[in-house]
């Protein structure tokens, strides 16, 4: 077991190796200064050695840390040293999904587990954070089938630095393999593979992930949903994990339907609006009178003023016509 001086100097004692995957090793560790147990992910040394790689990974860690959901393991700390870098997170009561999956058969309670995987993925999407690396080593399942998810956003570092990771990501979407633009539909593809692994085993999941046939015992309703979720073109898939789970007939937690409505995205839109209007503190966003006629808001004001004058004119015409009619009637008498 690795227990380098760097980790000790950072205040962590590694106690147990839990899992190894493409990003490095996951340990149980004890944080001595605060006397608490944590999970410590020791990243591949290349992440620390390649210029710019750790900075990108750190940006993803900070985005992950903003997600507040019981199904998301919270990031607690991170650090970098010569040839080493790490992140710590709250410990899970469960074990990696990799220990439950088998090659030839599914997992008991597969649909309940899947629903609880979708919930934190959708919650993160509502905050504008995609996972893009879901797999058996970052989904944690307890004995009571409570599910938690970790390792959000690491794929971005792998895309920018293809030689960064020691092993390939387990269930990537086709666009991720080609290092193209990923989206929420990329997580839909991966979730479809995980669903098959939970219901039918890893062998069937790998076959489906690479364009093979779905298991023969998949009913027609689920077959239709899985076929769409596994489509090689992202735009042909379900837009998000919640839509996919709904197509399977599974209930999920209610979250904002479109991640463009997330708080971070709204903030970006507001900043863009301020920039486009040249807004500064203490200065009204409404254009000055000198700019009147150039801004859509003032065009609307001008139209409203014209409509008001038109109403006045019509009222005057009606009054004058009525008065003329009365005078004419009186004259005839």
Residues 23 and 130 in one domain: yes
Q: Within a 13 Å sphere around the CA of 20, how many CA atoms are in the beta-carbon half?
A: 6
Beta-carbon count within 10 A of 87 CB: 26
Is 187 inside any structural domain?
yes
**Measured distance CA(194)–CA(202) in Å, rounded:** 8
**Measured distance CA(72)–CA(331) in Å, rounded:** 90
113: part of which helix (H) or strand (E)?
A: helix 110-126
State residue 227 phi and psi, 5-degree precision: -60, -40
Q: What is the extent of the structural domain holding 45?
A: 5-254
Is 263 inside any structural domain?
no
Of 91, 96, 92, 95, residue with least CA distance to 30? 91
Is 270 inside any structural domain?
no
- Please provide the average confidence, as pLDDT, over all residues in the chain: 82
Region 306-329 average pLDDT: 73
Region 292-296 average pLDDT: 39
State pTM to two decimals.
Answer: 0.73
The residues with which 81 forms a beta bridge, in sequence order, are 84
Of 112, 156, 110, 91, residue with least CA distance to 130? 156
Choose the final residue of a domain: 254, 278, 313.
Answer: 254
Chain centre to alpha carbon of residue 103: 29
Residues 147 and 32 in one domain: yes
Residues 150 and 244 in one domain: yes
Is 197 inside any structural domain?
yes
Is 266 inside any structural domain?
no
pLDDT band of 121, cuts 50, 70, 90 = very high
pLDDT digits (tens, 9 = 90+) for 178-213: 878 899 999 999 999 999 999 999 999 999 999 899
Cβ–Cβ under 8 Å, residues 169 and 151: no
Region 268-281 average pLDDT: 54
282: part of which helix (H) or strand (E)?
A: none
Cβ–Cβ under 8 Å, residues 12 and 30: yes
CA distance from start to end of the chain: 118
pLDDT digits (tens, 9 = 90+) for 256-269: 444 344 445 555 55
Q: What is the 3-state secondary structure (H, E, C) of 181-249?
A: CCCHHHHHHHHHHHHHHHHHCHHHHHHHHCCCCCCCCCCHHHHHHHHHHCCCCHHHCCCCHHHHHHHCC
Q: Please tell me the total count of domains within the chain.
A: 2
**Measured distance CA(115)–CA(76) in Å, rounded:** 26
Which comes out higher in pLDDT, residue 23 or 227? 227
Residues 49 and 154 in one domain: yes
**pLDDT number for residue 125:** 92
Domain of 149: which CATH number? 1.10.510.10
Is 259 inside any structural domain?
no
Of 27, 191, 192, residue with least CA distance to 125? 191
Residues 145 and 218 in one domain: yes
Is 287 inside any structural domain?
no
What size, in residues, is the chain?
Answer: 333
State residue 50 phi and psi, 5-degree precision: -80, 125
Does 166 score more than 90 pLDDT? no
Choose the final residue of a domain: 198, 226, 254.
Answer: 254
Choose the final residue of a domain: 254, 289, 314.
Answer: 254
Is 262 inside any structural domain?
no
State residue 28 phi and psi, 5-degree precision: -80, 135
Residues 87 and 229 in one domain: yes
The CA distances from residue 300 to 7, 155, 184, 193, 291, in Å, are: 64, 47, 39, 53, 14
Region 293-322 average pLDDT: 59
325: part of which helix (H) or strand (E)?
A: helix 296-332
Residue with tokens 């009525």: 322
Residues 305 and 225 in one domain: no
């Amino acid at each position: 077991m690795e227990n380098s001086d760097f980790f000790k100097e950072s205040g962590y004692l590694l106690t147990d190796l839990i899992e190894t995957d493409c990003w490095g090793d996951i340990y149980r560790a004890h944080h001595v200064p605060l006397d608490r147990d944590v999970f410590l992910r020791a990243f591949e040394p290349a992440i620390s050695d390649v210029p710019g790689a750790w900075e990108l990974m750190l940006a993803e860690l900070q985005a992950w840390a903003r997600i507040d959901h019981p199904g998301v393991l919270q990031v607690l700390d991170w650090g970098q040293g010569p040839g080493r870098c790490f992140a710590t997170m709250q410990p899970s009561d469960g074990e990696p999904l990799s220990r439950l999956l088998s090659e030839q058969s599914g997992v008991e309670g597969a649909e309940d587990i899947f629903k609880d995987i979708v919930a934190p993925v959708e919650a993160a999407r509502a905050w504008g954070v995609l996972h893009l690396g879901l797999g058996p080593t970052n989904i944690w399942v307890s004995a009571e089938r409570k599910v938690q998810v970790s390792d959000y956003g690491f794929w971005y570092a792998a895309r920018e630095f293809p030689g960064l990771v020691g092993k390939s990501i387990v269930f990537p979407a086709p666009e991720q393999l080609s290092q193209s633009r990923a989206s929420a539909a990329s997580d839909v593809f991966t979730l479809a593979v995980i669903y098959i692994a939970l219901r039918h085993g890893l062998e069937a999941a790998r076959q489906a992930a690479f364009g093979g046939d779905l298991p023969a015992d998949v009913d027609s309703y689920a077959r239709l949903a899985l076929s769409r979720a596994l489509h090689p073109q992202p735009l042909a898939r379900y837009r998000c994990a919640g839509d996919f789970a709904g197509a399977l007939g599974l209930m999920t937690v209610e979250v904002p339907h479109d991640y463009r409505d997330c708080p971070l995205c709204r903030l970006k839109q507001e900043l863009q609006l301020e920039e486009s209007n040249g807004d500064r503190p203490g200065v009204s966003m409404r254009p000055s009178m000198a700019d009147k006629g150039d801004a859509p808001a003032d065009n609307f004001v001008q139209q409203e003023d014209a409509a008001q004058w038109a109403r006045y004119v019509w009222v005057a015409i009606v009054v004058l016509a009525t008065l003329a009619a009365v005078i004419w009637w009186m004259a005839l008498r």
